[in-house]
Chain A
Amino acid sequence: MDKKLQVLSALLLLICLTGATESIFERPLPPPAANEIDRLVFAKLSELDITPALCSDAVFVRRVYLDVTGKIPTAAEARSFIDSTYSKNKRSELIDELLERPEFADYWSMKWGDALRIKAEFPVNLWPNAAQIYHHWVRTAIAQNKPYDQFVREMLTASGSNFRVGPVNFYRALQNKTSKGIAAGVALTFMGVRSESWTKEQLDNLAVFFSQVGYKPTNEWKEEHVFWDPLGSTKAAGNSAPGSAIVTTAMIEKNTNPPPENIGGPLNTIFPDGTPVQISPDRDPRVVFADWLITPENPWFTRCAINRIWAWLLGRGIIEEPDNIRDDNPPSNPELLTWLEKEFIRSGYDMNHLIRLILNSKTYQMSSVSNTGNPEAAAQFAAYPLRRLEAEVLIDAINDITGSSDLYTSAIPEPFTYIPKDQSAVSIADGSISSSFLTLFGRSARATGMSDERINRTSPSQQLHMLNSGHIQRKIEQSAKLRKLTVSRGRPEQAVDNLYLTILSRHPTFEEIDIMLAYKGAASQEIVQLKPATAKAKKRTSSKKKKFANKKQPQDWTDMAWALMNSPEFLYRH
Chain B
Amino acid sequence: MSINLTRRSALRQGLCGAGGLLLANKLQAALPAAALPVKAKSVIQIFLWGGMSHNDTWDPKPDAGRDYMGEFPDVLPTNVDGIQIGQLFPKLAQQADKYTLIRSMTHGINSHETAAYYMQTGHTRGERLAYPSVGAVFSHFKGLSYKGLIPPYVVLTKAQGRFSEEGFMGPKYKPFATGGDPNAPRFNVEGVVAEGITDERQIARRELLSKADALGKALTSPILNNMQITRDAAYELILGSGKDVFDLSKEDDKLRERYGRNMFGQECLAARRLVESGVPYVVINYPGGWDTHKGHAARMRQQCPSLDQGLAALLEDLSQRGLLDSTLVWCCGEFGRGPKIDWQPPWNGGRNHYGAVFSALVAGGGFRGGTIVGSSTSKGEEVNERPVYPVDLLGSIYQLAGIDTSANLPHPMGLEAPVLPKPSDTVLSGGLLTEIM
* Contact surface of A with B, Cβ cutoff 8 Å: 21-22, 24-25, 121-123, 125, 175-176, 184, 194, 196, 240, 244, 246-247, 250-251, 253, 368-369, 372-373, 386, 411-412, 434, 436, 439-440, 442, 445, 447-448, 450, 452, 455, 457-465, 467-471, 473, 509, 512, 515-516, 519-523, 525, 555, 559-560, 562-564, 566-569, 571-572, 574
Contact = CB atoms under 8 A, between A and B. Distances in A.
Given A250-B108, A464-B234, A560-B208, A21 B214 contact: yes
8 contacts: A123-B125, A175-B126, A175-B128, A439-B161, A448-B129, A460-B22, A465-B190, A467-B191
- The 3 A-B pairs of least Cβ separation, nearest first, read A464-B191, A522-B201, A122-B113
Most buried by B among A24, A412, A463, A567: A463
B185 interface: no
B74 to A, nearest CB: 30
Contacts of A563: 205, 208-209, 212
A572 B151 CA distance: 25
B314 interface: no
A111 B325 CA distance: 49
Contacts of A521: 201, 204-205
Contacts, number: 217
B126 A436 contact: no
Contact of A525 (B176, B179, B204): B204
Interface of B: 21-22, 24, 107-114, 117, 124-130, 151, 158-164, 170-172, 174, 176-177, 179, 188, 190-192, 194-195, 197-198, 200-202, 204-205, 208-209, 211-224, 226-227, 230-231, 233-235, 237-238, 355-356, 412-413, 415
A572 B191 contact: no
A567 B222 CA distance: 16
Contacts of A463: 227, 230-231, 233-234
A121 B355 contact: no
Nearest to B195: A470
Contacts of A465: 190-191
Given A448-B128, A569-B213, A467 B221 contact: no
Contacts of B201: 521-523, 555, 559
Given A196-B415, A567-B215, A460 B127 contact: no
A476 B24 CA distance: 28
A469 B195 CA distance: 8
Contact of A436 (B21, B128, B158, B231): B158
B164 A447 contact: yes
Contact of A457 (B171, B191, B224): B171
Contact of A452 (B194, B234, B412): B412
B21 A175 contact: no
B214 A569 contact: yes
Contact of B212 (A450, A458, A564): A564
B126 A176 contact: yes
Given A368-B219, A473-B197, A459 B205 contact: no
Contacts of A509: 214
Contact of B161 (A434, A442, A447): A434
Contacts of A468: 191-192, 194, 197, 202, 234, 238
Contacts of A520: 204
Contacts of B224: 386, 568, 572
Given A567-B209, A568-B213, A572-B215, A460 B230 contact: yes
Given A461-B191, A473-B197, A121 B113 contact: yes
Contacts of A372: 219-221
Contacts of B113: 121-123, 125, 411-412
B211 A470 contact: no
A455 B215 contact: no
Contact of A461 (B22, B108, B163): B22
A512 B212 contact: yes
Given A184-B128, A250-B355, A464 B164 contact: no
A192 B129 CA distance: 17
B191 A458 contact: no
B114 A122 contact: yes
Residue picked from B162, B215, B221, most chain A C-beta under 10 Å: B215
Nearest to B222: A373
A463 B172 CA distance: 12
A562 B201 CA distance: 12
A434 B237 CA distance: 27
B218 A24 contact: yes
Most A CB contacts (10 A, CB to CB) among B124, B159, B208 go to B208
